[in-house]
């Protein structure tokens, strides 16, 4: 399987007529996999002149027309809203009162804006490039090319008016030799006008291949700097994980200060960058993993968006749900034939890749791991009202300790200096809270604590554990 759009939001390697000043920063893709069947949906956030749009995706087989669809763009928004990292809000009760107050509330970080633009035309073939198939699907003209060598493909693309990044050959050659085909897309203006809409819809392709991967290398050919990729993966069995990069769960269930609510998007962006650097960059971050089978009642705790409906899932390519319009099963060589199960497991992976940290395409595997996971952060509103009772005093003391911890957690998670949050602290109204428990009062204390308190590096713990183990063994052998 394979996808690597040359242009366009996702992993794109832009083939642009104008000299490519375009950068694509965040891409989204839906992967559906069961047995050997793959369905890949690529988000299209292209907003420029559609004449300039072009995309190239390596695919393992010559796709038939029935294997290519356009789907509704809104599915991506729904999946993103539903699986994005979330902020949970709790309220302390006043220990001096009897009544209880409890509320949950959620927020999501706002999506990153993406830039784009590109151009391209597809015309006649050169000798070493063969047009395997040619279709019109929705608003797109689609060509499937095969090539014998990269210079031929390069020449062909150049002759047809595509600008190719200088180092694209580095990846075109291996793809050609791996016998991949190239799925080339541009917009058909006539069909586009019939639609009466400015959006280019996502393209969905399906095929059978034992290979479960995303060819991101093509997308790096013209991208300098880091690109984000969100993968929404659906399987029958369980979680999807990367097999050639390390899988790391993004920090979750941390208690963070109340004022982060105002700026949760920035908080998460900082947290992600910080963890990404700490984990040495070459990692796949897990942001969400849950069973979203339409009959399964609880799909998150709490949900930030509506869970995807059966219709959404079918739209996203989950073919084993609903009334199966994937009638063409003639060539399906699934290792695990359709067992009629309507189970759906949803995994959201977040990559930030660049050429140095990701020398290989992304390889995945489906695991039977059905454990739930979500990136979730907790803010807690303090109790209000009179705290002049014994329990109230104790509460106030605990509140101070807790808030100090929250501030520490904030600096630890985001890797930012505590001073950077000074402005945010003042954005919340804390007049009802005891002066000593306000964030403004606790901030200098925490700052001093951080300066005085050098935490022991994990390595020392490791060494200690190893020595302890060795000593235990020796003790057991009666040597010491």
Partner 1 sequence: MPVLINSINFYFLLLDYFLTVEMCNPASPFILYTNTTVMYVTQFFKDARYFQILFQSIFLCYGILILHWNNEYLLYATYFITSLAAQFICEWLFGKKTIPFFTRLKNGIPSVLISSFGLSLLLKTNDLSVAVFAAVVTIASKYIIRINGRHIFNPSALGIVLSIWLTGNAWVSPGQWGSNAVLFFGVLCLGFIVTTRVQKLDTSLAFLGTFAGLVFARQIIYLDWPMDHFIQSVSTGSLLIFSFFMITDPKTIPGHKMVRILWSAAVAAVAFYLSAFKFMNGAPIFVLVLAQPLVPLLDSFFKANKFEWVPSKACTPAEKKFLDTVYSRSFM
Residues binding partner 1 (CB under 8 A): 170, 173-174, 177-178, 210-212, 241-249, 279-280, 282-284, 359-360, 365, 367-371, 457-463, 465-466, 469-470, 473-474, 477, 479-480
Task: Report helix angle 439-452 to 390-414, nearest 10.
Answer: 60
**What is the smallest separation between the CB atom of 182 and partner 1, expressed in angstroms?**
16
Place of tokens 């609510």: 261
**For residues 63 and 251, which CB has a smaller minimum distance to partner 1 in the complex?**
251
Asked if residue 370 lies in contact with residue 236, where contact means CB atoms within 8 angstroms, the answer is no
Q: Which is nearer to partner 1, 298 or 391 (CB)?
A: 298
Task: Please report how close the Cβ of residue 418 comes to partner 1 at its closest, in angstroms.
Answer: 24
Name the minimum Å distance from CB 22 to partner 1: 24
Cα 170 to the center of its chain, rounded Å: 26
Closest approach of Cβ 371 to partner 1, in Å?
A: 6
For residue 341, what are the CA distances in angstroms to 321, 366, 420? 9, 16, 51
Residue (82 or 276) nearer to partner 1, CB: 276
Q: How far apart are CA 6 and CA 265, in angstroms?
A: 29
Which C-beta is closer to partner 1: that of 76 or that of 245? 245
Asked if 219 and 61 touch (Cβ cutoff 8 Å), the reply is: no
CA atoms 332, 337, 342, 346: torsion sign: negative
Helix (H, G, I), strand (E, B) or coil at 36: coil
Q: Which is nearer to partner 1, 221 or 399 (CB)?
A: 221
How many C-beta neighbours within 10 Å does residue 95 have? 17
Nearer to partner 1, 225 or 478 (CB): 478
Q: Which is nearer to partner 1, 389 or 461 (CB)?
A: 461
Query: To the nearest whole angstrom, how small is the minimum distance from the Cβ of residue 463 to partner 1?
Result: 6
Contact (CB, 8 A) for 259 and 377: no
Range list of H helices, 317-388? none
Considering the complex, what minimum distance in angstroms separates the CB of residue 17 from partner 1? 28
Phi, psi of 39 (to 5 degrees): -125, 125
CB of 341 to partner 1, least distance (A): 13
């Amino acid at each position: 399987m394979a996808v690597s759009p040359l242009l366009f939001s996702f992993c794109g390697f832009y083939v642009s007529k104008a000299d490519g000043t375009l950068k694509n920063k965040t891409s989204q893709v839906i992967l559906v996999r069961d047995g050997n069947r793959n369905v890949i949906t690529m988000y299209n956030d292209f907003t420029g002149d559609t004449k300039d749009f072009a995309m190239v995706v390596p695919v393992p087989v010559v796709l038939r027309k029935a294997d290519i669809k356009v789907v509704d763009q809104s599915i991506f928004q729904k999946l993103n809203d539903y699986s994005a990292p979330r902020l949970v809000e709790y309220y302390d009760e006043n220990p001096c009162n009897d009544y209880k107050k409890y509320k949950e509330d959620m927020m999501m970080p706002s999506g990153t804006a993406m830039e784009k633009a590109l151009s391209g035309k597809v015309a006649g073939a050169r000798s070493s490039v063969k047009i395997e198939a040619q279709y019109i699907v929705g608003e797109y003209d689609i060509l499937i090319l095969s090539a014998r060598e990269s210079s031929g493909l390069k020449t062909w693309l150049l002759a047809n008016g595509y600008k190719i990044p200088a180092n694209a050959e580095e990846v075109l050659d291996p793809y050609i030799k791996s016998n991949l085909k190239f799925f080339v897309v541009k917009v058909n203006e006539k069909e586009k006008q019939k639609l009466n809409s400015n959006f280019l819809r996502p393209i969905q392709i399906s095929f059978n291949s034992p290979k479960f991967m995303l060819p991101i290398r093509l997308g790096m050919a013209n991208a300098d700097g880091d690109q984000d990729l969100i993968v929404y993966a659906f399987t029958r069995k369980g979680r999807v994980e990367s097999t050639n990069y390390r899988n790391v769960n993004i920090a979750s269930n941390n208690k963070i200060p109340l004022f982060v609510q105002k700026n949760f998007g920035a908080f998460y962006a900082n947290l992600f960058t910080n963890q990404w650097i700490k984990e040495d960059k070459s990692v796949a971050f897990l942001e969400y993993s849950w069973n979203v089978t339409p009959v399964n009642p609880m799909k998150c705790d709490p949900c930030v968006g509506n869970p995807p409906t059966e219709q959404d899932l079918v739209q996203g390519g989950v073919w084993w749900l609903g009334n199966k319009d994937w009638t063409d099963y003639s060539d399906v060589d699934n290792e695990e034939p359709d067992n009629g199960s309507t189970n759906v497991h949803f995994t959201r992976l977040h990559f930030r890749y660049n050429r140095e940290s990701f020398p290989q395409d992304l390889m995945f595997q489906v695991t039977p791991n059905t454990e739930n996971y979500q990136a979730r952060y907790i803010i807690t509103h303090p109790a209000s009202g009179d705290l002049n009772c014994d329990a109230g005093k104790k509460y106030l003391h605990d509140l101070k300790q807790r808030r100090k911890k929250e501030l520490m957690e904030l600096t630890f998670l985001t890797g930012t200096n505590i001073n950077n949050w000074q402005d945010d602290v003042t954005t919340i109204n804390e007049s009802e809270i005891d002066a000593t428990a306000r964030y403004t009062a606790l901030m200098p204390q925490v700052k001093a604590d951080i300066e005085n308190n050098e935490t022991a590096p994990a390595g020392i713990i490791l060494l200690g554990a190893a020595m302890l183990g060795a000593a235990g063994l020796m003790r057991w052998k009666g040597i010491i």
